[in-house]
Amino acid sequence: MQLDVIERWQNSSSDMVVLSPTGSGKSLAFLVPILSSLNVSSSSTQAVVIAPTREIAMQTFDVIKKISPSTSTTCCYGGHDAAIEARSLGGIPHIIVATPGRLLDHINRKKINLTSIKYIVIDEFDKCLELGFTQEMRDIMVGCPADARKILTSATTIDNMPVFMDLKKCLTIDHLSDNELNTEKRITMWRVKARDNNKLSTLLELLYTIDDEPAIVFTSTRERAQEAFKFLSNNKMDSVLYHGALQQLEREKAVAMFENGSLMVMVATDLAARGLDIITVKHIIHCDLPLSQETFIHRNGRTARIHAHGNSYFITSPSENVPNYVSHCNELSLDSLSLRHTKETSTATLHISAGKKEKVSKGDIMGFLISHATMLTADEIGKINIFDHHSLVAVPKAKAADIIKAASSLKLKKVKVKISQARPRLRFAK
Protein backbone atom coordinates (compact mmCIF):
# COMPACT_ATOMS: atom_id res chain seq x y z
CA MET A 1 0.00 0.00 0.00
CA GLN A 2 2.77 2.42 0.94
CA LEU A 3 4.76 1.70 -2.21
CA ASP A 4 1.59 2.07 -4.28
CA VAL A 5 0.86 5.53 -2.83
CA ILE A 6 4.48 6.71 -3.18
CA GLU A 7 4.74 5.52 -6.79
CA ARG A 8 1.50 7.12 -7.87
CA TRP A 9 2.42 10.35 -6.08
CA GLN A 10 5.66 10.51 -8.04
CA ASN A 11 4.03 9.67 -11.38
CA SER A 12 1.04 12.03 -11.26
CA SER A 13 -0.02 15.45 -10.07
CA SER A 14 -3.49 14.33 -8.95
CA ASP A 15 -5.14 14.70 -5.59
CA MET A 16 -5.47 11.36 -3.78
CA VAL A 17 -7.88 9.46 -1.58
CA VAL A 18 -6.10 6.62 0.23
CA LEU A 19 -8.32 3.87 1.64
CA SER A 20 -6.61 1.26 3.80
CA PRO A 21 -7.44 -0.67 7.01
CA THR A 22 -6.47 0.67 10.41
CA GLY A 23 -2.95 -0.19 11.48
CA SER A 24 -1.72 -0.57 7.90
CA GLY A 25 0.73 2.34 7.92
CA LYS A 26 -1.16 5.15 6.18
CA SER A 27 0.91 7.75 8.03
CA LEU A 28 4.12 6.71 6.30
CA ALA A 29 2.25 6.36 3.02
CA PHE A 30 1.51 10.09 2.89
CA LEU A 31 4.46 11.41 4.91
CA VAL A 32 7.24 9.84 2.86
CA PRO A 33 6.21 11.44 -0.48
CA ILE A 34 5.45 14.80 1.12
CA LEU A 35 8.74 14.92 3.04
CA SER A 36 10.63 14.03 -0.12
CA SER A 37 8.85 16.88 -1.97
CA LEU A 38 9.60 19.64 0.53
CA ASN A 39 11.98 22.46 -0.27
CA VAL A 40 13.90 22.44 3.03
CA SER A 41 15.87 25.55 2.06
CA SER A 42 12.65 27.59 1.94
CA SER A 43 11.58 29.49 5.04
CA SER A 44 7.87 28.92 4.43
CA THR A 45 5.23 26.48 5.63
CA GLN A 46 4.65 24.03 2.79
CA ALA A 47 2.45 21.27 4.23
CA VAL A 48 -0.49 20.99 6.61
CA VAL A 49 -1.62 17.67 8.08
CA ILE A 50 -5.10 17.85 9.60
CA ALA A 51 -6.08 15.13 12.10
CA PRO A 52 -9.45 14.65 13.84
CA THR A 53 -8.04 14.13 17.35
CA ARG A 54 -5.05 15.34 19.36
CA GLU A 55 -3.86 11.72 19.71
CA ILE A 56 -3.67 11.22 15.93
CA ALA A 57 -2.00 14.62 15.54
CA MET A 58 0.62 13.81 18.18
CA GLN A 59 1.24 10.38 16.67
CA THR A 60 1.79 11.88 13.20
CA PHE A 61 4.11 14.52 14.68
CA ASP A 62 6.15 11.79 16.40
CA VAL A 63 6.46 9.83 13.14
CA ILE A 64 7.78 12.93 11.34
CA LYS A 65 10.36 13.59 14.06
CA LYS A 66 11.55 9.97 13.89
CA ILE A 67 11.96 9.69 10.13
CA SER A 68 12.96 13.29 9.40
CA PRO A 69 14.24 14.98 12.58
CA SER A 70 15.70 17.92 10.66
CA THR A 71 12.33 18.91 9.19
CA SER A 72 10.86 21.84 11.12
CA THR A 73 7.46 20.66 12.39
CA THR A 74 4.91 22.07 14.83
CA CYS A 75 1.98 20.20 16.37
CA CYS A 76 -1.15 22.13 17.42
CA TYR A 77 -4.18 20.72 19.21
CA GLY A 78 -6.80 21.57 21.81
CA GLY A 79 -5.72 21.18 25.41
CA HIS A 80 -2.15 22.19 24.56
CA ASP A 81 -0.76 25.58 25.56
CA ALA A 82 -1.67 27.87 22.64
CA ALA A 83 1.07 30.35 23.63
CA ILE A 84 3.73 27.65 23.30
CA GLU A 85 2.33 26.73 19.89
CA ALA A 86 2.29 30.39 18.81
CA ARG A 87 5.99 30.76 19.68
CA SER A 88 6.81 27.63 17.70
CA LEU A 89 4.76 28.86 14.74
CA GLY A 90 6.78 32.08 14.80
CA GLY A 91 9.71 30.06 13.50
CA ILE A 92 7.64 29.22 10.40
CA PRO A 93 7.81 25.41 10.38
CA HIS A 94 7.91 23.47 7.12
CA ILE A 95 5.01 21.26 8.30
CA ILE A 96 2.10 21.97 10.63
CA VAL A 97 0.21 19.02 12.12
CA ALA A 98 -3.03 20.12 13.77
CA THR A 99 -6.60 19.39 14.74
CA PRO A 100 -9.15 21.43 12.72
CA GLY A 101 -10.36 23.70 15.53
CA ARG A 102 -6.92 24.65 16.83
CA LEU A 103 -5.57 25.14 13.29
CA LEU A 104 -8.40 27.52 12.40
CA ASP A 105 -7.91 29.39 15.69
CA HIS A 106 -4.23 30.06 14.86
CA ILE A 107 -5.21 31.08 11.31
CA ASN A 108 -7.78 33.58 12.63
CA ARG A 109 -5.16 34.96 15.04
CA LYS A 110 -2.77 35.48 12.10
CA LYS A 111 -0.27 33.01 13.55
CA ILE A 112 -0.42 30.81 10.44
CA ASN A 113 -0.20 31.93 6.83
CA LEU A 114 -1.58 29.38 4.37
CA THR A 115 -0.62 31.16 1.16
CA SER A 116 2.56 29.11 0.71
CA ILE A 117 0.93 25.71 1.35
CA LYS A 118 1.69 23.13 -1.35
CA TYR A 119 0.41 19.96 0.29
CA ILE A 120 -2.70 19.32 2.39
CA VAL A 121 -3.36 16.03 4.17
CA ILE A 122 -6.64 15.28 5.94
CA ASP A 123 -6.00 12.11 7.90
CA GLU A 124 -9.03 10.04 8.95
CA PHE A 125 -11.16 12.34 6.79
CA ASP A 126 -14.42 10.57 7.66
CA LYS A 127 -13.76 11.04 11.38
CA CYS A 128 -13.20 14.78 10.87
CA LEU A 129 -16.68 14.99 9.38
CA GLU A 130 -18.19 12.68 11.99
CA LEU A 131 -16.85 14.86 14.81
CA GLY A 132 -18.50 17.93 13.32
CA PHE A 133 -15.48 19.74 11.86
CA THR A 134 -17.10 20.38 8.46
CA GLN A 135 -17.29 24.16 8.89
CA GLU A 136 -13.74 24.39 10.25
CA MET A 137 -12.36 22.40 7.33
CA ARG A 138 -14.35 24.49 4.86
CA ASP A 139 -12.91 27.69 6.33
CA ILE A 140 -9.39 26.23 6.30
CA MET A 141 -9.67 25.15 2.66
CA VAL A 142 -10.84 28.63 1.62
CA GLY A 143 -7.54 30.06 2.84
CA CYS A 144 -5.36 27.48 1.04
CA PRO A 145 -4.00 27.97 -2.48
CA ALA A 146 -6.28 26.45 -5.13
CA ASP A 147 -3.40 24.44 -6.60
CA ALA A 148 -2.33 22.86 -3.30
CA ARG A 149 -2.16 19.09 -3.70
CA LYS A 150 -4.43 17.10 -1.38
CA ILE A 151 -4.31 13.64 0.19
CA LEU A 152 -7.28 12.30 2.14
CA THR A 153 -7.08 9.05 4.11
CA SER A 154 -9.66 6.76 5.66
CA ALA A 155 -10.09 3.18 6.86
CA THR A 156 -13.64 3.11 5.49
CA THR A 157 -15.16 3.99 2.14
CA ILE A 158 -15.96 7.67 1.66
CA ASP A 159 -19.33 7.85 -0.14
CA ASN A 160 -19.95 11.58 -0.42
CA MET A 161 -17.07 13.97 -0.81
CA PRO A 162 -17.91 17.56 0.22
CA VAL A 163 -17.73 20.05 -2.63
CA PHE A 164 -15.45 22.37 -0.64
CA MET A 165 -12.60 19.83 -0.91
CA ASP A 166 -12.36 20.75 -4.61
CA LEU A 167 -10.42 17.60 -5.53
CA LYS A 168 -8.74 17.76 -8.92
CA LYS A 169 -8.31 14.66 -11.11
CA CYS A 170 -8.77 12.69 -7.92
CA LEU A 171 -7.04 9.32 -7.78
CA THR A 172 -8.51 6.77 -5.34
CA ILE A 173 -6.07 4.17 -4.02
CA ASP A 174 -8.16 1.43 -2.41
CA HIS A 175 -6.48 -1.27 -0.32
CA LEU A 176 -9.43 -2.00 1.97
CA SER A 177 -9.79 -5.51 0.54
CA ASP A 178 -6.06 -6.29 0.61
CA ASN A 179 -5.80 -9.69 2.34
CA GLU A 180 -2.41 -8.88 3.86
CA LEU A 181 -3.68 -5.64 5.41
CA ASN A 182 -7.15 -6.82 6.43
CA THR A 183 -7.40 -7.69 10.09
CA GLU A 184 -10.50 -9.88 9.83
CA LYS A 185 -8.53 -13.11 9.40
CA ARG A 186 -6.19 -12.23 12.27
CA ILE A 187 -8.89 -11.48 14.85
CA THR A 188 -10.84 -14.22 16.61
CA MET A 189 -14.38 -13.08 17.48
CA TRP A 190 -16.11 -14.17 20.68
CA ARG A 191 -19.60 -13.65 22.09
CA VAL A 192 -19.91 -13.56 25.88
CA LYS A 193 -23.48 -13.64 27.21
CA ALA A 194 -24.00 -11.44 30.27
CA ARG A 195 -26.33 -12.51 33.03
CA ASP A 196 -27.88 -9.04 33.31
CA ASN A 197 -28.22 -5.78 31.38
CA ASN A 198 -25.45 -4.01 33.32
CA LYS A 199 -22.71 -6.36 32.03
CA LEU A 200 -20.04 -5.07 34.42
CA SER A 201 -19.81 -8.22 36.54
CA THR A 202 -19.43 -10.22 33.31
CA LEU A 203 -16.72 -7.77 32.14
CA LEU A 204 -14.79 -8.29 35.38
CA GLU A 205 -15.07 -12.07 35.08
CA LEU A 206 -13.93 -11.96 31.45
CA LEU A 207 -10.88 -9.86 32.32
CA TYR A 208 -9.91 -12.31 35.05
CA THR A 209 -10.30 -15.17 32.56
CA ILE A 210 -8.42 -13.98 29.47
CA ASP A 211 -4.63 -14.04 29.29
CA ASP A 212 -2.51 -11.43 31.03
CA GLU A 213 -2.16 -9.28 27.92
CA PRO A 214 -3.20 -5.66 27.21
CA ALA A 215 -6.95 -5.16 26.70
CA ILE A 216 -9.09 -2.17 25.71
CA VAL A 217 -12.66 -2.09 27.01
CA PHE A 218 -14.93 0.04 24.80
CA THR A 219 -18.05 1.79 26.07
CA SER A 220 -20.53 4.00 24.24
CA THR A 221 -20.39 7.10 26.49
CA ARG A 222 -18.07 8.90 28.91
CA GLU A 223 -20.45 8.25 31.77
CA ARG A 224 -20.49 4.55 30.99
CA ALA A 225 -16.67 4.49 30.78
CA GLN A 226 -16.42 6.13 34.19
CA GLU A 227 -18.92 3.67 35.63
CA ALA A 228 -16.95 0.70 34.30
CA PHE A 229 -13.64 2.18 35.47
CA LYS A 230 -14.95 2.72 39.01
CA PHE A 231 -16.48 -0.77 39.09
CA LEU A 232 -13.18 -2.40 38.10
CA SER A 233 -11.23 -0.25 40.58
CA ASN A 234 -13.62 -1.12 43.41
CA ASN A 235 -13.11 -4.80 42.57
CA LYS A 236 -9.30 -4.50 42.67
CA MET A 237 -8.85 -4.65 38.89
CA ASP A 238 -6.43 -1.80 38.11
CA SER A 239 -7.10 0.06 34.86
CA VAL A 240 -6.78 3.46 33.18
CA LEU A 241 -9.64 5.64 31.98
CA TYR A 242 -9.55 7.36 28.60
CA HIS A 243 -12.12 9.75 27.14
CA GLY A 244 -12.43 13.28 25.79
CA ALA A 245 -13.45 15.04 29.02
CA LEU A 246 -10.23 14.16 30.82
CA GLN A 247 -7.54 16.80 31.16
CA GLN A 248 -4.79 16.49 28.57
CA LEU A 249 -2.30 15.49 31.28
CA GLU A 250 -4.57 12.62 32.36
CA ARG A 251 -5.01 11.38 28.78
CA GLU A 252 -1.26 11.48 28.18
CA LYS A 253 -0.65 9.61 31.40
CA ALA A 254 -3.31 7.01 30.63
CA VAL A 255 -1.82 6.20 27.23
CA ALA A 256 1.75 6.13 28.58
CA MET A 257 0.91 3.81 31.49
CA PHE A 258 -1.07 1.47 29.24
CA GLU A 259 1.59 1.41 26.52
CA ASN A 260 4.57 0.91 28.86
CA GLY A 261 2.94 -2.02 30.64
CA SER A 262 2.21 -0.42 34.01
CA LEU A 263 -1.47 -1.27 33.56
CA MET A 264 -2.99 -3.87 31.25
CA VAL A 265 -6.58 -2.61 31.01
CA MET A 266 -7.82 0.61 29.39
CA VAL A 267 -11.49 1.59 29.70
CA ALA A 268 -12.33 3.99 26.90
CA THR A 269 -14.91 5.61 24.69
CA ASP A 270 -14.64 5.41 20.93
CA LEU A 271 -12.11 8.24 21.09
CA ALA A 272 -9.56 5.44 21.54
CA ALA A 273 -10.78 3.67 18.41
CA ARG A 274 -8.66 6.01 16.29
CA GLY A 275 -5.11 7.15 16.70
CA LEU A 276 -3.87 4.79 19.42
CA ASP A 277 -1.12 2.77 17.80
CA ILE A 278 -0.12 0.32 20.54
CA ILE A 279 1.12 -2.87 18.95
CA THR A 280 0.89 -4.97 22.13
CA VAL A 281 -2.92 -4.80 22.44
CA LYS A 282 -4.27 -8.36 22.19
CA HIS A 283 -7.86 -8.04 23.39
CA ILE A 284 -10.72 -5.72 22.37
CA ILE A 285 -13.81 -5.93 24.59
CA HIS A 286 -17.06 -4.38 23.38
CA CYS A 287 -18.72 -3.84 26.75
CA ASP A 288 -21.22 -1.68 24.87
CA LEU A 289 -21.90 -2.87 21.34
CA PRO A 290 -20.54 -0.63 18.55
CA LEU A 291 -23.14 1.76 17.16
CA SER A 292 -22.09 1.20 13.54
CA GLN A 293 -19.96 -1.03 11.36
CA GLU A 294 -17.43 1.78 10.98
CA THR A 295 -17.08 2.03 14.76
CA PHE A 296 -16.66 -1.74 14.93
CA ILE A 297 -13.90 -1.64 12.30
CA HIS A 298 -11.98 1.09 14.10
CA ARG A 299 -12.32 -0.49 17.53
CA ASN A 300 -11.02 -3.81 16.25
CA GLY A 301 -8.25 -1.96 14.46
CA ARG A 302 -6.57 -1.36 17.83
CA THR A 303 -5.52 -5.03 17.89
CA ALA A 304 -4.01 -7.37 15.29
CA ARG A 305 -1.74 -4.65 13.97
CA ILE A 306 0.17 -5.74 10.87
CA HIS A 307 1.19 -9.44 11.09
CA ALA A 308 -0.16 -9.75 14.67
CA HIS A 309 -3.23 -11.59 15.96
CA GLY A 310 -5.86 -10.56 18.48
CA ASN A 311 -9.24 -11.30 20.05
CA SER A 312 -12.48 -9.32 19.97
CA TYR A 313 -15.21 -9.97 22.57
CA PHE A 314 -18.85 -8.88 22.42
CA ILE A 315 -20.55 -8.80 25.81
CA THR A 316 -24.27 -9.09 25.06
CA SER A 317 -27.13 -8.58 27.51
CA PRO A 318 -30.06 -11.04 27.50
CA SER A 319 -31.86 -8.76 25.01
CA GLU A 320 -28.89 -8.17 22.65
CA ASN A 321 -27.35 -10.04 19.73
CA VAL A 322 -24.02 -9.69 17.98
CA PRO A 323 -24.38 -7.16 15.10
CA ASN A 324 -25.32 -8.79 11.80
CA TYR A 325 -22.19 -7.49 10.07
CA VAL A 326 -20.03 -9.66 12.35
CA SER A 327 -19.27 -13.09 10.92
CA HIS A 328 -17.60 -16.19 12.37
CA CYS A 329 -18.32 -15.33 16.01
CA ASN A 330 -17.57 -18.03 18.59
CA GLU A 331 -19.48 -18.55 21.82
CA LEU A 332 -17.40 -18.19 25.01
CA SER A 333 -18.87 -19.58 28.23
CA LEU A 334 -17.19 -18.17 31.31
CA ASP A 335 -18.75 -20.90 33.46
CA SER A 336 -16.29 -23.44 32.08
CA LEU A 337 -13.21 -21.29 32.65
CA SER A 338 -11.23 -20.60 35.80
CA LEU A 339 -10.44 -17.10 37.06
CA ARG A 340 -6.69 -17.46 36.77
CA HIS A 341 -5.40 -14.12 35.52
CA THR A 342 -4.98 -11.02 37.69
CA LYS A 343 -3.72 -8.36 35.24
CA GLU A 344 -0.99 -7.52 37.76
CA THR A 345 2.19 -6.12 36.22
CA SER A 346 5.79 -5.81 37.34
CA THR A 347 6.11 -2.27 35.92
CA ALA A 348 5.48 1.14 37.49
CA THR A 349 5.51 4.60 35.94
CA LEU A 350 7.48 7.47 37.46
CA HIS A 351 6.44 11.10 36.98
CA ILE A 352 9.35 13.55 36.67
CA SER A 353 8.63 17.29 36.83
CA ALA A 354 10.72 18.30 33.80
CA GLY A 355 10.19 17.93 30.06
CA LYS A 356 10.87 19.33 26.60
CA LYS A 357 10.69 22.97 27.66
CA GLU A 358 13.39 22.28 30.26
CA LYS A 359 15.53 20.83 27.40
CA VAL A 360 15.37 17.34 28.87
CA SER A 361 16.08 14.34 26.61
CA LYS A 362 15.60 10.60 27.08
CA GLY A 363 19.36 10.23 27.48
CA ASP A 364 19.34 12.87 30.23
CA ILE A 365 16.66 10.98 32.13
CA MET A 366 18.41 7.62 31.82
CA GLY A 367 21.69 9.09 33.01
CA PHE A 368 19.99 10.90 35.89
CA LEU A 369 18.19 7.80 37.15
CA ILE A 370 21.16 5.46 36.84
CA SER A 371 23.56 7.86 38.55
CA HIS A 372 21.27 8.64 41.49
CA ALA A 373 19.34 5.37 41.81
CA THR A 374 22.29 3.01 42.02
CA MET A 375 20.02 -0.03 42.33
CA LEU A 376 18.77 0.60 38.78
CA THR A 377 20.44 -0.56 35.55
CA ALA A 378 19.95 0.82 32.04
CA ASP A 379 18.18 -2.27 30.73
CA GLU A 380 15.59 -2.00 33.53
CA ILE A 381 14.39 1.38 32.28
CA GLY A 382 11.41 1.00 29.97
CA LYS A 383 9.62 3.45 27.69
CA ILE A 384 10.26 7.15 28.34
CA ASN A 385 7.62 9.71 27.33
CA ILE A 386 8.66 13.37 27.38
CA PHE A 387 6.01 16.12 27.34
CA ASP A 388 6.27 19.90 27.60
CA HIS A 389 6.88 20.16 31.35
CA HIS A 390 6.92 16.58 32.62
CA SER A 391 8.16 13.11 31.73
CA LEU A 392 6.93 9.57 32.39
CA VAL A 393 9.33 6.65 32.78
CA ALA A 394 8.64 2.92 33.12
CA VAL A 395 10.72 1.16 35.80
CA PRO A 396 10.47 -2.10 37.80
CA LYS A 397 7.60 -1.80 40.28
CA ALA A 398 9.66 -3.46 43.01
CA LYS A 399 12.26 -0.69 42.78
CA ALA A 400 9.97 2.33 42.29
CA ALA A 401 9.88 3.45 45.94
CA ASP A 402 13.67 3.21 46.32
CA ILE A 403 14.23 5.14 43.08
CA ILE A 404 11.93 7.93 44.25
CA LYS A 405 13.68 8.11 47.61
CA ALA A 406 17.14 8.21 46.03
CA ALA A 407 16.51 10.66 43.17
CA SER A 408 13.63 12.92 44.24
CA SER A 409 14.29 16.66 44.67
CA LEU A 410 17.69 16.43 42.92
CA LYS A 411 18.71 18.44 39.89
CA LEU A 412 18.21 17.21 36.34
CA LYS A 413 20.11 19.44 33.89
CA LYS A 414 20.42 22.09 36.62
CA VAL A 415 16.67 21.99 37.28
CA LYS A 416 15.42 20.72 40.64
CA VAL A 417 12.87 17.99 39.93
CA LYS A 418 10.28 16.06 41.89
CA ILE A 419 9.71 12.37 41.24
CA SER A 420 6.56 10.47 42.16
CA GLN A 421 4.75 7.34 41.09
CA ALA A 422 2.11 8.06 38.46
CA ARG A 423 -1.34 6.68 39.22
CA PRO A 424 -4.69 6.91 37.42
CA ARG A 425 -6.79 9.82 38.65
CA LEU A 426 -10.07 11.33 37.52
CA ARG A 427 -9.42 14.98 36.67
CA PHE A 428 -11.65 16.44 34.01
CA ALA A 429 -11.16 19.23 31.50
CA LYS A 430 -12.96 22.51 32.09
pTM of the model: 0.77
Average pLDDT over residues 313-319: 94
Which residues fall within 8 angstroms of residue 180, CB to CB, at 6 or more apart? Answer: none
pLDDT at 360: 93
Residue 46 pLDDT > 70, yes or no?
yes
Q: Looking at 191-200, 295-304, 352-361, which range is the least confident one?
A: 295-304
Distance CA 56, CA 146 (A): 26
Per-residue pLDDT band for 184 (boundaries 50, 70, 90) equals low
pLDDT at 181: 54
Angle in degrees, CA 101, 22, 52, rounded to 5 = 5
Residue 18 pLDDT > 70, yes or no?
yes
Residue 10 pLDDT > 60, yes or no?
yes
Q: What percent of the chain has a predicted confidence (pLDDT) above 70?
A: 95
Are 229 and 203 within 8 A, CB to CB?
no
Average pLDDT over residues 166-181: 80
pLDDT at 335: 80
Q: How many Cβ atoms sit within 10 Å of the Cβ of residue 389?
A: 15
CA 172 from centre of chain: 25
Q: Whole-number mean pLDDT of the chain?
A: 89
pLDDT at 25: 85
Per-residue pLDDT band for 272 (boundaries 50, 70, 90) equals confident
* Sequence letter at residue 107: I
Residue 307 pLDDT > 90, yes or no?
no
* Sequence letter at residue 427: R
Average pLDDT over residues 285-292: 94
> What is the architecture of the domain spanning 2-174?
3-Layer(aba) Sandwich (3.40)
Q: Where are the domains of the chain?
A: 2-174, 184-336, 347-421
Residue 9 pLDDT > 60, yes or no?
yes
Beta-sheet pairing, 265-268 with 283-286: unpaired
Q: Looking at 112-126, 192-206, 270-284, which range is the least confident one?
A: 270-284
Q: What is the pLDDT of residues 84-143, one digit of tens each?
A: 999 999 999 999 999 999 999 999 999 998 999 999 999 999 888 888 899 999 999 999
Q: 2-174 and 347-421: same fold?
A: no
Higher pLDDT pick, 34 / 81: 34
Distance CA 275, CA 104 (A): 21
- The CATH number of the structural domain formed by 347-421 is 3.30.70.330
Per-residue pLDDT band for 81 (boundaries 50, 70, 90) equals confident
- The CATH number of the structural domain formed by 184-336 is 3.40.50.300
The DSSP 8-state label assigned to residue 361 in this structure reads: -
pLDDT at 22: 76
Residue 28 pLDDT > 90, yes or no?
yes
pLDDT at 162: 83
pLDDT at 163: 85
Average pLDDT over residues 32-54: 92
Q: Which of 379, 380, 424, 383 is nearest to 400 (CA)?
A: 380
Average pLDDT over residues 374-398: 92
Higher pLDDT pick, 413 / 185: 413
